[in-house]
Structure 1
Amino acid sequence: MDNQRYHLTLSSYGRPVMHGWWPDLKTVERKFAAWVGERGSRKGARITLTDEADGGRVLKAWPDEDR
């Protein structure tokens, strides 16, 4: 299993603030939800979950693009 498959990034106004890598989708999905709850209220916050094994495809993003 690739230890750096799933990449979670917190950006503020387009600048990266923090990030992490996880090998397991279920774990990173829990981390994504936790980051939204803990850090999503920052002004200009954007949290993205990408699958690096799939060319960096965005799996989840907060806030949602439709907002």
Structure 2
Amino acid sequence: MGKIKAEFVVLEGNSVEITTKLNELLDTFQESGATIKDIKVNYTKEHGFDGFLVAYTIILEVPKEMELEA
């Protein structure tokens, strides 16, 4: 069993751009061997004409070999 870690991420763009960026980020974590345990939205604000700022907390379980790299 690995260590539980939290990553705080702020993404900016329209809903499609934010979803794409979040999915790319989650894929990167999973490809590195982490297991996504939970995703929470901490903050959302309209930004510009059709954009948003969204802050997420991503809870991960990181395997032991990944702990050494961090």
Question: Greater share of strand residues, 1 or 2?
Answer: 2
User: For the superposition of Structure 1 and Structure 2, which TM-score range results when normalised by the shorter chain?
Assistant: 0.3 to 0.5
With structure 1 as the length reference, what TM-score do the two structures score?
A: 0.39
Who wins on radius of gyration, i.e. which is larger?
Answer: 2
Question: Greater share of helix residues, 1 or 2?
Answer: 2
